[in-house]
A and B are shown apart, each in its own frame.
Chain A
């Protein structure tokens, strides 16, 4: 328990020292939501909610705000997690080789991801509530949280093979554009194409649109989010275990663990 608490505490502390991410959180996220609200037209816009098949009418500014906030939290949490994973990769390996419980370290990483995604999502929805009253605010938080978690896990996943923060950031931006742009019911003519159900943010956008403009709850789109989250997390966690294993020589004999328990 102490191993988990210490690792989680230090991990969150280190995350809170990422100045660029904090600036993005404080400035970029509210700016994006504000710009979406003020620049996009408030005219009602008809679109078909794929999750339920019904036709809804909603203000273009509100739809753009939902889409923009999903985009902003995705980029921010993805970058934050990528940056943290790149920073600690070699150190985690040394720490586990020295005997640090891998399960505790892993649980600490998941806690960090969940805490970051929750804070960022609540903050983003808080800003949206300044401009607009969605019909189901709780569901909106859940939808934004799903996007944050997926992109956070994607940050961990991308850190496995991309060398630096610039590469990670560019990759996350490109993925987010490819993910969200074709789904936007205001801007895209592709929003009705069945292939969009396969995109990482499909579940979040559909759930957020439901939360904003209906009193109903269709949870099917969140199954898509859950599948993405499970797949990316599983790959990232498997890679963590692979990365932190030790390599005894083919016929190595050791009298104990590499860095064994030592009573003093």
Chain B
């Protein structure tokens, strides 16, 4: 298993968000996690990414990790190009070929020298996603990754997700709506602090 989650629990004060979450995901799998607002989806993903501490449980990730947070976490004063340079250093990448290719695929190239504060919400979200993908991680955690995307970009996103799966990457996508269940290998519903397997899956390319 590339991603193993064992009995993870988390509470904020007296409010229990995650009671007992376990999950095992193999290589080359595209997995969805859905749940109502406030069910704890973002909390779970933040724990898996190491952004937030859990009260109990274990997480095992076998390989490099990419994490796309729910809201764009970017520097408003810098351009997308400058973001690439910073994350190139962070990921220690020799070049930016993959990032450039993602820029073109998601239509970000025309904006690459504009400060982020002048970009639309959807365009910021594209950069938010590319920053998580540009080092070709083995495990990808995506929190509502297509918020604000137009239809064409939305379809590009799924094209990229399926290409990643074919390349043996493991992708976990969190969403509050179960729109895309047919595109996934497995779907889980987060409710009552636990993950429940949900039906209606079967990946399409």
Q: Which residues of A contact B (CB under 8 A)?
A: 2-3, 6-7, 10, 13-14, 17, 87-88, 90-91, 93-100, 246-256, 258-262, 264
Q: How far is the CA of A251 from the CA of B9 in the complex (A)?
A: 12
Q: How far is the CA of A37 from the CA of B47 in the complex (A)?
A: 58
- In the complex, the answer to whether A14 meets B50 with C-beta atoms within 8 Å is no
Q: Which residues of B contact A (CB under 8 A)?
A: 8, 47, 49-67, 69, 73-78, 82, 85-87, 89-95, 98, 115, 131, 135-137
What are the residues of chain B within 8 A of A96 when measuring CB–CB? Answer: 90
Q: Which residue of A lies closest to B97 (CB)?
A: A264
Q: How far is the CA of A264 from the CA of B66 in the complex (A)?
A: 16
- In the complex, the answer to whether A17 meets B94 with C-beta atoms within 8 Å is no
What are the residues of chain A within 8 A of B136 when measuring CB–CB? Answer: 262, 264
- In the complex, the answer to whether A264 meets B74 with C-beta atoms within 8 Å is no
Residue of B50, B85, B135 near A248 (CB, 8 A) is B50
- In the complex, the answer to whether B91 meets A249 with C-beta atoms within 8 Å is no
From known contacts A95-B87, A98-B91, infer whether A87 and B50 are also in contact, taking CB-CB under 8 Å: no
- In the complex, the answer to whether B135 meets A97 with C-beta atoms within 8 Å is no
What are the residues of chain A within 8 A of B93 when measuring CB–CB? Answer: 262, 264
What are the residues of chain A within 8 A of B65 when measuring CB–CB? Answer: 258-260
Q: How far is the CA of A83 from the CA of B135 in the complex (A)?
A: 31
Residue of B47, B50, B78, B90 near A10 (CB, 8 A) is B78
What are the residues of chain A within 8 A of B8 when measuring CB–CB? Answer: 249
From known contacts A87-B76, A91-B73, A256-B64, infer whether A262 and B91 are also in contact, taking CB-CB under 8 Å: yes
What are the residues of chain B within 8 A of A255 when measuring CB–CB? Answer: 61-63
- In the complex, the answer to whether B91 meets A14 with C-beta atoms within 8 Å is no
Interface centre among A95, A98, A247, A251 (most CB of B within 10 A): A98
What are the residues of chain A within 8 A of B53 when measuring CB–CB? Answer: 247-249
CB distance from A190 to the nearest CB of B (A): 42
What are the residues of chain B within 8 A of A94 when measuring CB–CB? Answer: 69, 73, 131
From known contacts A90-B73, A99-B92, infer whether A259 and B51 are also in contact, taking CB-CB under 8 Å: no
What are the residues of chain A within 8 A of B135 when measuring CB–CB? Answer: 259, 262
Interface centre among A6, A96, A252 (most CB of B within 10 A): A252
